[in-house]
């Protein structure tokens, strides 16, 4: 018998020992440090430990063989048997069943400009979007005309231009699958680990991102073509059994639905949407707060202008917000119901995301300060890091209260989780001992009780820390500041403390604080959002509606339906809902039509921050040669997200026939980039003509999409030149004699 004992097996064994030692991480335990280094060395020396009944052999390593002999054959066998027999039981006891664990990340609705609406997962109503709302699998979003929106994931930022509809087909710890039904998106991928997967699906292709970079996709309104531009990075476009690879500095136009045709050329200059993206990117790249936080904390860039960092001898780096006197955490906002977490805090402050879903709060010298989790530990999202008062069955006089968790205090999720998740969500957000977390897990999750006893919470006794509202206000996404109930210190001291609020949510909580706008907001055309997209990876089934969850929610009030239980609520067989996707067949490498020579992939540097268009980004391809394209040209497609490709208006075409005159009602200012026709018999100057008075000077960049002219741009409505002499009407003989008499008549006569 041959037993393989690889590095992953060592890690499992260490994990068990780590729990026994009570260490929060390897760095907290000297024994684990030595064990870690020893095991790594052993594994590097040989990828396979072979143990047979006749002899002990560690191929290629005499030193390890001697060590095995010293330990003895039976000690090795017992170790392996212990790992094989006891570790699975320990892992089961430690991790529980992680099938019900929620994702450790969501997408933050971080910035809204104009009219933006969302359709929560499983619902039919569109409502006005609210900043700081978390988005997850099944949520849909629409940016109307003249609008833009930014979604933040930690590892990436997704930005939508106007008239753009998108949704998350899947969003979990390692997968981002975005549906782009129509419009334009820019995706800045900041980090992509080997086990991460990022896919953007449009009506005629699926684009998979293979490395960090900057990507722009435009899906036509009719769903017949997609334009993909890469400022940095790399990826593959797949559709109808064909796969095309794109590199940094390239732009591909992919047309057709029955067959996928590809035209690739140099990516061009930027438009107003690109410039807005560059400006937003600088907020991340230049943020001072990033040095104090884990790399994947969402919303850290908003802390710079809204507070200051100070060092405290007891807590290290502490961020203090710039707020008015009397302010307290979790006092200005509302509670939404978002599955699979349940009640989720949505703060009203523009910076109010990171400090309410990561870390802990502390009162120092009369000021509230926020302490982030360990920077070296990957952050885990939590719906709200609070403790509830009077949230048990029967309520607390019809009210419910809460206060923020303090440093080193254990967070008990109000949803079903495994022991491993419980450790992860606490260790990543505060400095806490694993043994302490395990004890709390056993007394709450294992024993299935929401009441917390024998724990003294630091912030419970802080003046003004506790917020109390009626339960119906809590469960219907009402602004808590407007519904606050006054209670005295004695009432607060006698109220029970619990991990969740045992109140069934309402439909308003699902739709959010703008539930009243349902049916009164701009929604995307039905043909756009119901259009199927091409997908390489099969997404999960569509979410179950809130109406179908009512019975399950009533059985355990205040707790979200667990994923496995949610499966039982879905219809089976032919009635089962299917995602609006067309599964792409396996793609074979295909060669596109090359429109212009492209720069090599090394010309772009994904790690470099994007610069604004005025300064030209460092990773932008060099200008094409004069005989290829004029210096002021750029491809039309990325600037026209909802229009099919057309000929470039500024490309010289000597053989083009004269165009018809412009309509007389078109104002001159509408054509700033076209020179005024010269007078007859006058040769035009080779340089750009000077603008006429009362006309704006030519602008190098195109106007926003809403203002952009069609590609068949008519001639400018400039003042026409006088007609040439041969076009003047002929004079009659009588008119000639009259003119001669006038010339002969002396002056003053």
Q: DSSP readout, 149-162?
A: EEEE-SSEEEEE-T
Same domain, 476 and 345: yes
Q: What is the pLDDT of residues 376-386, one digit of tens each?
A: 999 999 999 99
Q: How many domains does the chain have?
A: 3
Output DSSP code: residue 451.
B
In a domain, 480, yes or no: yes
In a domain, 328, yes or no: yes
Same domain, 12 and 139: no
| Cα–Cα dist 140/125, whole Å | 11
Same domain, 36 and 115: no
Same domain, 395 and 327: yes
- Phi/psi for 274 (5° steps) reads -60, -45
Domain boundary among 594, 622, 650: 622
User: Region 199-216: what's the mean pLDDT?
Assistant: 97
Same domain, 109 and 82: no
CATH of the domain at 150: 2.60.120.1440
Domain boundary among 622, 644, 674: 622
Q: What is the pLDDT of residues 252-289, one digit of tens each?
A: 999 998 889 999 999 999 999 999 999 999 999 999 99
Same domain, 420 and 360: yes
Same domain, 304 and 440: yes
Largest distance between two CA atoms of the chain: 140
Same domain, 131 and 17: no
* Residues 6+ positions from 656 with CB-CB distance below 8 Å: none
| Cα–Cα dist 38/30, whole Å | 12
| Cα–Cα dist 357/299, whole Å | 10
Q: Name the residue with higher pLDDT: 373 or 43.
A: 373
Quote the radius of gyration of the chain (alpha carbons, Å).
Answer: 33
Q: What angle do CA 457, 462, 466 make, to 5 degrees?
A: 80
Of the ranges 116-120, 438-442, 509-513, 617-621, which one carries the lowest mean pLDDT score?
A: 617-621
Q: What is the pLDDT of residues 305-348, one digit of tens each?
A: 999 999 999 999 999 999 998 999 999 999 999 999 999 999 99
In a domain, 660, yes or no: no
Candidates 261, 247, 266; CA nearest to 593 is 261
Same domain, 259 and 322: no
Same domain, 76 and 188: no
Domain boundary among 69, 95, 121: 95
Q: What angle do CA 140, 386, 460 make, to 5 degrees?
A: 155
Q: What is the 3-state composition of the chain as percent helix, strand, coil, each rounded to the nearest 5?
A: 25, 20, 50
User: Region 28-49: what's the mean pLDDT?
Assistant: 43
Same domain, 225 and 311: no
Candidates 162, 153, 182; CA nearest to 117 is 162
In a domain, 598, yes or no: yes
Candidates 262, 179, 98, 215; CA nearest to 532 is 179
In a domain, 111, yes or no: yes
Print the domain residue range for 215.
103-286+521-543+581-622
In a domain, 664, yes or no: no
In a domain, 735, yes or no: no
Q: What is the pLDDT of residues 663-719, one digit of tens each?
A: 433 333 333 333 334 433 333 343 443 444 443 344 344 444 333 333 333 333 333
HSE on the CB side for 448, CA within 13 Å?
2
Same domain, 231 and 274: yes
In a domain, 561, yes or no: no
- Residue 340: cis peptide before it, omega within 30 degrees of 0: yes
Strand order across the 367-371 sheet: 307-312, 316-321, 367-371, 360-364
**pLDDT at res. 627:** 34
**pLDDT at res. 706:** 39
Whether 643 has a pLDDT exceeding 70, the answer reads no
User: Region 463-472: what's the mean pLDDT?
Assistant: 94
Residue-wise over 472-510: b if at least 16 C-beta within 10 A, else e? ebbbbbbebeebbeebeeebbeebebbbbbbbbbbbbbb
Look-up of token digits 């908003």: 302
């Amino acid at each position: 018998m041959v037993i393989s004992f690889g590095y992953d097996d060592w890690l499992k064994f260490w994990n068990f020992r780590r729990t026994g030692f009570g260490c929060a991480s390897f760095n907290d335990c000297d024994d684990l440090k030595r064990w870690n280094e020893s095991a790594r060395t052993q594994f590097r020396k040989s990828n396979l430990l072979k143990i047979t009944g006749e002899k002990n052999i560690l191929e290629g390593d005499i030193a390890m063989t001697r060590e095995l002999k010293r330990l003895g054959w039976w000690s090795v066998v017992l170790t392996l048997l212990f790992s094989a027999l006891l570790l699975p039981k320990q892992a089961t006891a430690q991790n529980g069943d992680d099938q019900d664990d929620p994702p450790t990340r969501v997408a933050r609705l971080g910035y809204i400009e104009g009219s933006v609406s969302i359709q929560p997962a499983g619902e039919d109503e569109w409502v006005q979007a609210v900043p700081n709302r978390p988005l997850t699998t099944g949520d849909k979003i629409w940016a109307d005309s003249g609008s833009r929106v930014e979604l933040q994931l930690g590892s990436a930022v997704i930005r939508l231009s106007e008239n753009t509809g998108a949704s998350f087909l899947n969003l979990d710890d390692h997968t981002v699958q975005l549906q782009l039904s129509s419009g334009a998106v820019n995706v800045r991928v900041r980090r992509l680990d080997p086990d991460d997967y990022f896919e953007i699906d449009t009506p005629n292709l699926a684009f998979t991102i293979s490395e960090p970079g900057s990507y722009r996709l435009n899906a036509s309104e009719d769903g017949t073509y997609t334009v993909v531009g890469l400022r940095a990075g790399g990826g593959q476009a797949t559709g109808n059994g064909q796969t095309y690879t794109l590199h940094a500095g390239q732009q591909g136009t992919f047309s057709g639905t029955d067959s996928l045709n590809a035209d690739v050329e140099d990516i061009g200059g930027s438009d107003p949407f690109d410039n807005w993206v560059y400006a937003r990117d600088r907020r991340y790249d230049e943020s001072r707060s990033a040095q104090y936080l884990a790399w994947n904390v969402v919303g850290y860039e908003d802390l710079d202008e809204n507070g200051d960092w100070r060092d405290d001898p007891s807590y290290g780096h502490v961020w203090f917000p710039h707020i008015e006197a009397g302010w307290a955490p979790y006092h200005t906002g509302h509670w939404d119901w978002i599955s699979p977490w349940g009640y989720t805090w949505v703060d009203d402050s523009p910076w109010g995301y990171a400090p309410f879903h990561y870390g802990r709060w502390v009162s120092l010298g009369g000021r509230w300060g926020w302490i982030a989790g360990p920077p070296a530990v990957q952050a885990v999202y939590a719906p709200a890091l609070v403790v509830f008062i009077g949230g048990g069955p029967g309520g607390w006089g019809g009210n419910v209260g809460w206060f923020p968790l303090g440093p080193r205090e254990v967070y008990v999720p109000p949803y079903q989780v495994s022991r491993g998740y419980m450790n992860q969500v606490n260790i990543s957000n505060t400095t806490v001992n694993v043994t302490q977390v395990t004890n709390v897990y056993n007394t709450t999750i294992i024993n299935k009780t929401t009441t917390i006893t024998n724990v003294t919470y630091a912030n419970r006794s802080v003046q003004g820390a506790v917020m109390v509202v009626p339960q119906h206000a809590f469960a219907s996404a009402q602004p808590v500041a407007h519904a606050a109930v006054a209670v005295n210190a004695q009432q607060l001291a006698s109220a029970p403390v619990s991990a969740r609020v045992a109140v069934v949510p309402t439909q308003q909580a699902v739709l959010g604080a703008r539930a009243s706008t349902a049916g009164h907001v701009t929604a995307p055309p039905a043909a756009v959002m119901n259009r199927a997209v091409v997908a390489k990876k099969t997404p999960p089934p569509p979410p179950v509606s809130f109406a179908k969850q009512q019975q399950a929610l009533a059985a355990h009030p205040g707790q979200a339906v667990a994923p496995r239980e949610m499966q039982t609520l879905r219809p089976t067989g032919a009635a089962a809902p299917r995602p609006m996707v067309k599964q792409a067949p396996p793609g074979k490498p295909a060669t596109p039509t090359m429109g212009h020579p492209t720069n090599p992939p090394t010309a772009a540097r994904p790690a470099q921050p994007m610069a604004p268009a005025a300064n030209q980004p460092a990773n932008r391809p060099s200008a094409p040669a004069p005989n290829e394209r004029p210096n002021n040209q750029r491809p039309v497609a990325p600037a026209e997200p909802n229009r099919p490709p057309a000929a470039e208006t500024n490309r010289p075409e000597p053989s083009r026939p004269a165009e018809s005159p412009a309509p007389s009602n078109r104002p001159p200012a509408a054509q700033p980039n076209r020179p005024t026709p010269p007078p007859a018999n006058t040769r035009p100057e080779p340089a750009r003509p000077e603008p006429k008075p009362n006309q704006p000077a030519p602008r190098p960049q195109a106007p926003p999409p809403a203002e952009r002219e069609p590609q068949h741009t008519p001639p400018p409505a400039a003042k026409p030149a006088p007609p040439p002499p041969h076009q003047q009407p002929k004079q009659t003989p009588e008119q000639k004699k009259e003119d001669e008499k006038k010339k002969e008549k002396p002056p003053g006569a």
